[in-house]
Amino acid sequence: MTTFRNPPSHKHLTGYMRVRSRRENWLAVVLLRISRRDLSFCLTALLIFCLGSLLYQLNGGAPKILLDVGYYLGRFSGGHGSLAPRALPFPSQVVYNRVGKCGSRTIVLLLRILADRHQFTLISSDIHNKTRLTKREQENLIRNISTTPQPFLYTRHVHFLNFSRFRMNEPVHINIIRDPINRFLSNYFFRRFGDWRGEENHIVRTPGMKDEERYLDINTCILESYPECSNPRLFYIIPYFCGQHPQCREPGLWALEMAKQNVLDHYLLVGVLEELEDVLLLLERLLPHFFSDVLNIYKSPEYRKSGNMTGTVHKQTPNLEALQVLYQRMEYEYKFYNFVKAQFHLTKRKIGLRTGPQPSRYYSSVLQRKDLQEELEEEETEESLDSTEQT
């Protein structure tokens, strides 16, 4: 059976329409008032949000103004008056275990300027002759580094430190190396005659060195296998990347492979000194909070005036026979150097840099040239002529 309901009376329908009309009028008035009052505010907020998002993506992080706004909003949130921590750049911990005579003085001078400009903590250790540490010393040093106020950059002449071994957060590692023979010669003459700075000359650095050792001919040192010019003294760069294991100090394949693996696993960048400007460009792109504008500083006349004082004085080039002997003794050092150089060039290609090496001598390539003997003979002739003219 179908049931039919009586249609609503005209009186009830009229009341329903009046109520509905009142509700619609009220809603329209509310929406109108809201739009007039807050439309400009909403559009402004949306514009700021869009611009902030755009700057965030372009710069690889939030712009300073948004960080400051977030900081002050967080400061008064919760009603407790506690300060919210400021956002740190990523990465905020960098370790540069600089290799001796590989441009480290140049980089440290730049870092002092950059630390003041970009407001990060720079710790440059004055310990130069203790690169190998006991387990307790490693643990203490790693804990001291890790408690430094962030963002920080720590630098010291020390062999690679494995933070994960002591369950500490892993920092970003960076470094620079150099053609091994070039590094050796720079160190050999620096120990004897220092650099162009007056405050740290050879007398201050090696006061106990006898004259027969100080003025020892470099060819004699190499060809007669003096300890300073033979292994294990020549096995120098690899231990800085191999680490603190005792076997890292023994010239051989194990230390070489461990150093290579650590470069791949732990280092953001290992550059070569012969291409220093490209190294600075990559550091500026990979670590902008620390190295932004570093290349402009490096090229500035003010920096050049102080940076040129760190060059080693009285450097001499060994003869061809001595160079060949050095090259053979540094077999593993050159294998590692060529590996690092290949990785560095790969990183340059990924970033889009296509510049070539800066003017400097690569002994590994020079030794393979047929005209090396003629070049060295020309240099010796020029030096003889210069000394004759001075006389």
Residue pair 301/225 in contact by the 8 Å Cβ criterion: no
Q: What is the 3-state secondary structure (H, E, C) of 308-320?
A: HHHCECCCCCCCH
**Would you call 270 helix, strand, or coil by DSSP?**
strand
DSSP state of 85: P
In the set 12, 80, 128, 157, the catalytic residue is 157
DSSP state of 275: G
Q: b/e map of 229-261 (b: 16 or more CB within 10 Å)?
A: bebeebbbbbbbbbbbbeebbebeeebbebbbe
**Would you call 13 helix, strand, or coil by DSSP?**
helix
Q: Is 345 a catalytic residue?
A: no
**Would you call 236 helix, strand, or coil by DSSP?**
coil
Q: Could you report how far apart the first and last alpha carbons of the chain are, in Å? A: 135
Residue pair 93/268 in contact by the 8 Å Cβ criterion: no
DSSP state of 228: G
* Residues known to be catalytic: 157
